[in-house]
Amino acid sequence: MKKLLFLTSAILIIFSMNNSLSQVVLKSEDMMNTGDTVRVSIADDNNIDFTSTGELVNWDYSYLNATSQRLERARPVQSGGTFSNIQFGPNAGRYASNYFRDFLGLPIDQLGNFVPLPINIEDVYRFTKIEEDSVSYTGLGLAIQGNVIPFRSDTIEVAYELPLSYGDEYSSRGYTRINLNPFFDAQFIQRRQNTASVDGWGTLRTPFGTFNAIRIHHIIDEQDSIFVNLDGFSQWIPINQPRTHIYEWWTKFQDLPLLKIETRELGGNETVTEIAYRDVYLGLDASTNEVESNQVSIFPNPTSDKIQISSTFEIDEIELRNAAGQLILHESINGGGNHQQIELNLNSFNAGIYFLSLKSKNSSVIKKIVLQ
């Protein structure tokens, strides 16, 4: 009888372990979508291990320290103005997109290395389309003189084929031509090849928390070229880009990768160019409209029942996520203006740590809640 009880207990323990480390299947619902805002921390570590992968891996990056932060926003296409709505709005056919957000991967600044630009390109954006079976990059946008000038991609790059799980592989090409006329007689062409594989799964630890995760390895081969016309002399100038590797760790319902390590390959060796991870607001970026932490107070905290939210900025949405990052509560707040007082009942949730996101149209703040 004792042997049977021991065997039963062992089976239950093994089942519990396997269940807690179940593999993640990435779907469209897990991706960033219109209106979402995500705080991302940037860290420095030239010796970080980005090679370990496979099955049941324990990735521990909990030691990372943020040196700066940025706020990732999925802006509605309509907010880009008339031209963006025509090119990427709901009536744009296969180019109909969900949102656009900042894009750091277009080396448009290199144009200034060849010719002096008579215009100021303030920001670069990328338009994104979310479907059940894929996430695609439909085009780019340049912010010039306060306007978003959109450019469709002749070949739409599929960034993620969905659903996505361990062992999956896919590849896709993207081709985009940017014509700067009438601002300037110049053109920019970007050709990209994205070869991706889900090469690992296991447990990921970051300063944001511990999660079941899969790892996606993107290999980006890019060939860019610039056409300029100065005083009747015109020429296409090729820009050879080094191969880029992007390692992403994803879990459910987090909108963006929990961790992203980007490298550049030269001579067969990879050099880390960026380490970015999902995080709470740390006050390390004054360049965005992130709400100051002291504009919101929550009490009591810790709590076992209700919390009172007092805010000096207008709250439009409330989201509550558990320590695993799962969205467990979403409420829309109608009106109220500044100096809002909101009561939130949490007595239906288990004890633990939660993250409360308070969002307005242009700002957000995240607070940690301890439920006893």
Instruction: Read off the tokens for 113.
Output: 């290395």
Please give the distance of CA 368 from its chain centroid, rounded to a whole number.
21
Report the pLDDT value the prediction gives residue 11, as an integer from 0 to 100: 41
Phi/psi of residue 294, nearest 5 degrees: -75, 0
Are 30 and 254 in contact by the 8 Å Cβ rule? The answer is yes
Mean pLDDT across the stretch 301-315?
A: 84
Q: What is the pLDDT of residue 4?
A: 44
pLDDT in tens, 15-61: 334 445 678 999 999 999 988 888 899 999 989 999 999 999 999 99
Residue 162 near residue 129 (C-beta atoms within 8 A) = no
pLDDT in tens, 309-367: 888 777 878 888 776 557 788 887 766 555 678 888 998 888 887 878 787 765 677 77
| Mean pLDDT over each residue of the chain, to the nearest integer | 84
Lowest mean pLDDT among 100-104, 169-173, 235-239: 235-239
Distance CA 93, CA 106 (A): 25
CB-based contact 144:119 (threshold 8 Å)? yes
CA atoms of 317 and 297, how far apart (whole Å): 16
In the chain, the percentage of residues whose pLDDT exceeds 70 is 83
Q: Supply the pLDDT for residue 237.
A: 83
- What is residue 62's predicted lDDT score, i.e. its pLDDT? 96
Greater pLDDT, 5 or 129: 129
pLDDT in tens, 271-293: 999 999 999 877 776 444 555 55
61-86 pLDDT per residue, tens: 999 999 988 889 898 898 888 999 99
Pick the more confident residue, 196 or 300: 196
Instruction: Write down the pLDDT at residue 19.
Output: 42
pLDDT at 325: 59
pLDDT of residue 2: 41
pLDDT on residue 255:
94
Q: What is the pLDDT of residue 282?
A: 79
Q: Which domains, and CATH codes, for the chain?
A: 29-278 (no CATH), 293-371 (2.60.40.3080)
DSSP state of 258: S
- Could you tell me which residue, 350 or 181, shows the higher pLDDT? 350
Three-state secondary-structure class, residue 109: helix
pLDDT per position as a tens digit, 226-276: 887 766 777 888 888 899 999 999 999 999 999 999 999 999 999 999 999
Q: DSSP secondary structure string, 21-33? A: TPPP-B-GGGB--
**Residue 216: per-residue pLDDT:** 98
